[in-house]
Amino acid sequence: MYFSFKEESRKVRAEAKLDINLERSRVNDMFTEQEKKLLEVSTEFHKKNTDVERSTLEATKKIDTEVASLKTLLESLKLDTIRYLAASVFSCLAIALGFYRLWK
């Protein structure tokens, strides 16, 4: 009877060890699979992040170019306005001097 209990105890221990080892193996497999999925998602995230940064940089360059172009245009129009204003003032002065000379 003692030997049968001992034998039964050994069987239970062996089954428990087997179950623990199987569970450990299953958990390791799950961990490896999750790690692989995490690496794939991380790689995809970094790729998309790089694409977004590249697009943002291109848009920023385009905006900077347009702003510089508009500033140049504004300065050009400002100079044209000043030139036409000066020409108008001198034309009015010339006309006024002409009338002054006619009446005198």
The pLDDT of residue 3 is: 78
List, for residues 62-81, the tens digit of each pLDDT value.
Answer: 999 999 999 999 999 999 99
Which CA distances in Å does 62 have to 43, 48, 57, 58, 65? 29, 21, 9, 6, 5
The pLDDT of residue 35 is: 95
The pLDDT of residue 6 is: 81
The pLDDT of residue 20 is: 93
Mean pLDDT in residue range 83-97: 96
103 vs 95, higher pLDDT: 95
Does the global pTM surpass 0.85? no
Which CA distances in Å does 36 have to 42, 44, 48, 76, 81? 10, 12, 18, 60, 67
